[in-house]
Structure 1
Amino acid sequence: MKPGSLRLRLIAGGIVAILIALSIAGLGLTVLFQRHVTRTLTDDLDVHLRQLIAGIDVGPQGELVVTRPPADPRFADPLSGLYWQVEGASGQLLRSRSLWDMTLKLPPDALSPGDTHIHELWGPAHTRLLVAERSIVLSGGGRNPSARIAVAVDLGRVAAATVAFGKDLAIALGLLALVLAIATSIQVGLGLRPLDSLRRGIADIRAGRRSDLPAAVPAEVQPLVEEVNALLEAQAGEIERSRGRAADLAHGLKTPLAALASDVARLRESGQDAVASDIEAVGEAMSRHVDRELALARVRGRVRLRPDVFTALAPLARALVATLSRTPAAQHLSFEIDIADTAMAPFDRTDLAEVLGNLLENAVRHARTRVRISGGGDNAAIHVEDDGAGIAESELPLVLERGVRLDERGGAGLGLSIVQDVLAAYNWRLTLTRSALGGVKATIAPEGVKL
């Protein structure tokens, strides 16, 4: 995924939301667990408190006596974390063995008999204690003494249990986050699949495999598809109108150019060769421009309408060579055709003839004795070579620029420009290199094919 992509943003946003939600949930669960453990300890303290109250009695002199202490053995273990203390109104103090020689410093508190109060305070060894206390009034020995009874437990158990629970919860939430992240990625992929289908559909349209986007898409994407299809329809209509206007313009110029050629002939007959040559050069340049516009008007939009068209390469090459062989410039040349009879090129015949015709004309113009056309094999590349003087490596890129010529043997420098325009419509390209024959090797091949 590329930085800034919609998929990456959605997945990253989903993961961040999952992490925030799980973090809040983890914190909340930890707090709830701590409260639950604290409530459990409070219930246990209440049980110990009842046991302690049940075991308190009044002695013969009215003193407080614990006849039956709580049964939990931790009360007898020094600093065990579980303590009890009984404080009489007269200052008498009774305490569990676990307190050793220390005292629970209970806060000042007005207790009604029978009420239980819960406190947190510091206890032995600087531990935090949870304390449950109650005030009672005893009867016996002719007296009714009161007592303040407290039972305490070390909250370190709560902290340890909370930490252990937090560790286990973190592992569980981490696994849950991983599962949810994977699910989010899958969900985003499924949600964006219609957009990926649109991308492939647009690629098919650009490649000429279809003319519009499929209508079977989710309702959320339907308006986009309808707008794109409407745009494609409008564009196709505009292209068709542009082709018609360009063709009309080019055909309209053909007749004046033919008349201009007749005027050139008459000027030559009257002895005005210089003027005739100038007009002829201008006429040829205009004719090349007209030919180029006709070729572009013909090829524009054709690839999209007929993506599966193919032309037999060898018969076309033989027909072009046969035509060129009868021209004065090619009468002294020998032509070699090294193309299999089964070779096919993914071009309309007229467009391929336009391309190969221009390349062969250039080769004939510069060749000394030989012109060779070959290719059409596994990589589909087609080569046109000559044994002329060739072109310097530094000047080869200049030849492919529109209107640029490196010699003075006629033409307007648009032949290779026409070739490139036609090839671009079919997603092919033209390259020029040094030929083994000594001249230039012009190669046409699909984009992306290594030569």
Structure 2
Amino acid sequence: MRRSLRLRLLVVGAFAIVVTLWGAALGLALLFERHVERVAVGDLEARAQTLAGIVEHDAEGVPRLAAPPPDRLYQQPFSGHYWQVALGSDVQRSRSLWDYSLPMDRAAPPPGRTEVLDLPGPQGERLLAVEQSLLVGRGPQALSLRIIVASDRAVLTAARQDFLADLMPYLAFLGLLLGIASWLQIRIGLSPLAEVADRVKALTQGQRSRIGTDLPDEMLPLSRQLDALLDARDAELLRARHRAGDLAHGFKTPLQALLGDAGTLRGRGEPEIAGSIETVVTSMRRLVERELTRARIQSDRHAAEADPAAVLARLVKVLKRTPKGGTIDWQTRVDDPAPRARIDPDDLTEALGALLENAMHHADAVVEAVVTRQGSRVRIAICDDGPGVPDTALASLPQRGMRLDESGDGQGIGLAIVSDIAEAAGGDLTLTNTRPGLCVELTLAAAATRR
């Protein structure tokens, strides 16, 4: 979860939704209970007012308690509905109390006032009670009338539980809707991150040169920093290429002068010294030529693309004009449609030129070039029918200065340069003996399909 921003947001959102709905359920239950209690208190007050009517006056005008009106709620023992009326020392209770008396040991409320009480019931249950106090008569002869009407709180608790039972399915459905909304919010809110990822991928595939600024405001600092990093990288690569090129060009003239001095020494009868100088100069020229080639490799290679078939056609046309090339049977096969590779055209020309020239020098009669597309890669195979190379030398052949034929005038850097170009373009170079001949495969990333 620590590595997934989406999962972290979903977990936090789900937790917030659950806590909020749970708090809402408790709050609604409390409000419902208070509302039901107010309704119950109102009903008890109305019943208390009705019980006040049982006070009568006898012929002498003395107040007394008459028989209460019949009510089946108060006839059944322990029904949960009770009343008790006290006029002076005269006390009457509902039949439902049986032999139990509601406690009246506290002070009576002021006349005309109503108090809401929490009293113990005949079976130890909690009762919601209303007590009213009235004065019957006038003057010092007035008597205090206390009326208590109560009902079992279990009824209120059951009502709250029933309310919660009815509420829970709706809260669960609401939680589901909120969860879906949270998921959509996270998906839409994080979509710019996917857009940035797609643009970075497009950068590597050569479809874009920069991230761009047409993104949400929150993503602009990131995109600008990435673009600034790309600008700095390109500038540094350009400076490095220029420095390498300048350094290599600076060595060429002194090396040429050393070769002239070696020739002078050879003419004066110093062949050993001249040969030693020529060996050193040749080795240094290899390094210089390689660095010149590396300096020409394009830094913005991901944004470039080339047509291998067209490059091969141009190179073969040139090589056919050479003495050896005119005797070779050049065979070219290209997939239809012709695939395009993600590489700078000049780099591809230099790489294929080195491979074709190498194949021409070692071929007996045939050089075959095949261009095929395999998924997201372009495979360029150049094969000859020559003697091939020892299997033990295949891995080391692309190394700097490696030559199997010491009789030629080459410097042994052709395959090394091709390997550098392939590596710079994100490709691979493989050598295989085909018996007869050697097959060199250059595999490059395919360019994006044009629409």
The interval holding the TM-score normalised by the smaller chain is 0.7 to 0.9
Could you list the per-position Cα deviations for residues 95-117 of structure 1 after superposition, in whole angstroms to 9, with x for gaps in the alignment?
A: 22322333333562332222211
In structure 2, relative to structure 1, the CA distance for the partners of 1:212 and 1:135 (3 Å cut) is same
1:15 corresponding residue in structure 2: 14
Structure 1: give runs of 5+ residues left out of the alignment.
none
1:382 corresponding residue in structure 2: 380
2:236 corresponding residue in structure 1: 238
What does residue range 238-257 of structure 1 map to in structure 2 within 5 Å?
238-257=236-255
In structure 2, relative to structure 1, the CA distance for the partners of 1:302 and 1:134 (3 Å cut) is closer
SS of corresponding position for 1:119:
strand
Deviation at 1:248, TM superposition (A): 2.0
In structure 2, relative to structure 1, the CA distance for the partners of 1:34 and 1:67 (3 Å cut) is closer
1:37 corresponding residue in structure 2: 36
Specify which of 102, 105, 108 is matched with residue 104 of structure 1: 102
1:87 aligns with 2:83: no
Could you list the per-position Cα deviations for residues 167-216 of structure 1 after superposition, in whole angstroms to 9, with x for gaps in the alignment?
A: 33333333323322332332333333334333333333343333333333
Q: Which amino acid aligns with 2:304?
A: P
Q: Which amino acid aligns with 1:391?
A: D
Q: Which amino acid aligns with 2:288?
A: V
In structure 2, relative to structure 1, the CA distance for the partners of 1:318 and 1:45 (3 Å cut) is same
- Tell me if structure 2 keeps the 8 A contact 1:295–1:351: no
Specify which of 261, 283, 307 is matched with residue 304 of structure 2: 307
Deviation at 1:381, TM superposition (A): 0.8
What does residue range 396-415 of structure 1 map to in structure 2 within 5 Å?
403=400, 409=406, 415=414
In structure 2, relative to structure 1, the CA distance for the partners of 1:269 and 1:68 (3 Å cut) is same
1:426 aligns with 2:425: yes
Deviation at 1:123, TM superposition (A): 1.5
Task: Tell me the distance in 2 between the aligned counterparts of 1:341 and 1:152.
Answer: 96
Deviation at 1:94, TM superposition (A): 2.1
What does residue range 4-403 of structure 1 map to in structure 2 within 5 Å?
4-57=3-56, 63-69=64-70, 71=71, 73-90=72-89, 92-106=90-104, 108-139=106-137, 144-263=142-261, 278-304=276-302, 307-311=304-308, 312-316=310-314, 318-319=316-317, 322=320, 326=324, 337-340=331-334, 343-346=338-341, 347-360=343-356, 372-379=367-374, 380-385=378-383, 387-392=387-392, 403=400
In structure 2, relative to structure 1, the CA distance for the partners of 1:249 and 1:139 (3 Å cut) is same
In structure 2, relative to structure 1, the CA distance for the partners of 1:236 and 1:436 (3 Å cut) is closer
Q: Which amino acid aligns with 2:287?
A: H
Query: In percent, how many aligned pairs have the same letter?
Result: 35
- Normalising to structure 1: TM-score of the pair? 0.79
Task: Tell me the distance in 1 between the aligned counterparts of 2:123 and 2:238.
Answer: 95
- Tell me if structure 2 keeps the 8 A contact 1:121–1:130: yes
Deviation at 1:83, TM superposition (A): 1.6
- Tell me if structure 2 keeps the 8 A contact 1:320–1:353: no
Structure 2: give runs of 5+ residues left out of the alignment.
none
- Tell me if structure 2 keeps the 8 A contact 1:391–1:439: no
SS of corresponding position for 2:301:
helix
SS of corresponding position for 1:378:
strand
SS of corresponding position for 1:66:
coil
Deviation at 1:9, TM superposition (A): 3.5
SS of corresponding position for 2:78:
coil
- Normalising to structure 2: TM-score of the pair? 0.79
Compare 28-37 and 14-23 and name the one that shifted more: 14-23
Task: Tell me the distance in 2 between the aligned counterparts of 1:371 and 1:3.
Answer: 60
Specify which of 435, 446, 451 is matched with residue 444 of structure 2: 446
In structure 2, relative to structure 1, the CA distance for the partners of 1:404 and 1:40 (3 Å cut) is farther
- Tell me if structure 1 keeps the 8 A contact 2:380–2:442: yes
Task: Tell me the distance in 2 between the aligned counterparts of 1:440 and 1:106.
Answer: 115
In structure 2, relative to structure 1, the CA distance for the partners of 1:77 and 1:174 (3 Å cut) is same
Task: Tell me the distance in 2 between the aligned counterparts of 1:104 and 1:323.
Answer: 125
Count of residues paired in the alignment = 434
Q: Which amino acid aligns with 2:333?
A: I
SS of corresponding position for 2:183:
helix
Task: Tell me the distance in 2 between the aligned counterparts of 1:259 and 1:421.
Answer: 29
Compare 14-23 and 121-130 and name the one that shifted more: 14-23
Could you list the per-position Cα deviations for residues 250-281 of structure 1 after superposition, in whole angstroms to 9, with x for gaps in the alignment?
A: 22223333344445555666676655555444
SS of corresponding position for 2:83:
strand
Task: Give the RMSD, CA atoms, in angstroms.
Answer: 3.9
